[in-house]
Amino acid sequence: MLQDIEPYLACPHCARPLTLDGRTLRCPGGHSHDLAKQGYVSLLAGDAHTGTGDTADMVAARDDFLAAGHYRPIADALAAAAVAAVAEAEDSGGGDGGDGPGGGRPGGLVADLGAGTGHYLAHVLDALPGRPGAALDISKYALRRAARAHPRIGAVVCDAWRPLPLLDASAGLVLNVFAPRNGPEIRRVLRPGGTLLLVSPTSRHLRELVDTLGLLSVDEDKQRRIDEKLGPYLTPAGRREVEFTMRLSAEDVRTVVGMGPSAWHTDPDRLAERLAALPDPVEVTASVTVAAYRR
């Protein structure tokens, strides 16, 4: 709930701490932000817009696909990496083990940047009892679901490319799953010794569908480019590949296409023709890298 993450939130206009007053967040500078009836709060700057966020149809598709458990091995790997990162920080006396400049509770916030429906954040919070989680996304349709995904999630509308509405050094963990990455802001909100856990697709991800259906592909240099962009701000701290085979029905395939970036770039009529030519079910590769970066 929003109360769980209130100690970590910053005003998007003046970056000062926010305090929850009933159903309104207020800062000392006089700015206020009302909680929506669906449970999320918008902390977008005044000139920001949500036009780049996932649509209601994309969010519904993602919710259906993830709820069916097709990506469960990815969620499990992310949760295991989160537990390992917290244990390492506590063993080394790093920033994840105690109170930091961001205030709040010992251990800090788990912030999911580009959280979508909150599916992965909820899985991580189940593995980290007592930790509060902030679901950060620009799609209000996604955050309506994220606000209900776990009792310790607070859902916040924000733009990943703008200053994040979190206090300095407030997060012990930042999650980033198939989402935009803002290196300077991730470093700012992480506590010293805190960890970014980043999940990104490899070039083999959904390879059986990419050419057949005309989907967007992932180039083989993606991980190198990620490392280069994050290099000035964070230190690589290990990675593992997670690869497995999914057995998908025609409806599952339609859903996995509709929930990702290809939904913006695929002609519906042409997609329907190509889907009809696929075997039902079809075996499809899921392949991602789970990488850790430390402040």
DSSP three-state, residue 172: strand
CA distance 21 to 14: 18
The 10s digit of each residue's pLDDT in 157-192 is: 999 999 999 999 999 999 999 998 999 999 999 999
Cα dihedral across residues 67, 73, 76, 82: positive or negative: negative
Peptide bond into 261 cis (omega under 30): no
Task: Tell which residue, 5, 78, 69, 92, has the closest CA to residue 43.
Answer: 5
The residues, ordered by sequence, that sit 6+ positions from 29 with a Cβ below 8 Å of its Cβ are 11, 13, 14, 16
Calculate ∠ Cα 120-77-96, nearest 5°: 75
Model's pTM, two decimal places? Answer: 0.91
Question: How far from 156 is each of 96, 191, 224, 236, CA to CA, in Å?
Answer: 22, 20, 30, 28
Q: Determine contact, residues 107/168, Cβ cutoff 8 Å.
A: no
- Inter-residue long-range contacts of 65-68, CB under 8 Å, 24+ positions, other chains counted: 65/252, 65/255, 65/256, 65/259, 66/117, 66/119, 67/119, 68/252
**Band of the pLDDT at 214, cuts 50, 70, 90?**
confident
CA distance 111 to 153: 9
pLDDT of residue 264: 58
Task: Tell which residue, 177, 159, 294, 148, has the closest CA to residue 233.
Answer: 294
Structure letter (DSSP) for residue 261: G
* Structure-derived torsion over alpha carbons of residues 243, 241, 253, 278, reported in degrees to the nearest 10: -50
The 10s digit of each residue's pLDDT in 246-290 is: 999 988 998 888 787 665 566 677 777 888 888 889 999 999 999
Q: Determine contact, residues 148/59, Cβ cutoff 8 Å.
A: no
Task: Tell which residue, 136, 79, 145, has the closest CA to residue 113.
Answer: 136
Map out the domains of the chain with their CATH numbers.
Answer: 8-294 (3.40.50.150)
Structure letter (DSSP) for residue 214: T
pLDDT of residue 265: 60
The 10s digit of each residue's pLDDT in 95-147 is: 444 444 454 555 789 999 999 999 999 999 999 999 999 999 999 999 999 99
- Taking each continuous run of H as one helix and of E as one strand, the counts in the chain are 10, 11
pLDDT at 90 over 90: no
DSSP three-state, residue 238: strand
Give all strands of the β-sheet with 235-248 in edge-to-edge order.
40-42, 153-157, 133-137, 109-113, 171-177, 190-201, 282-294, 235-248
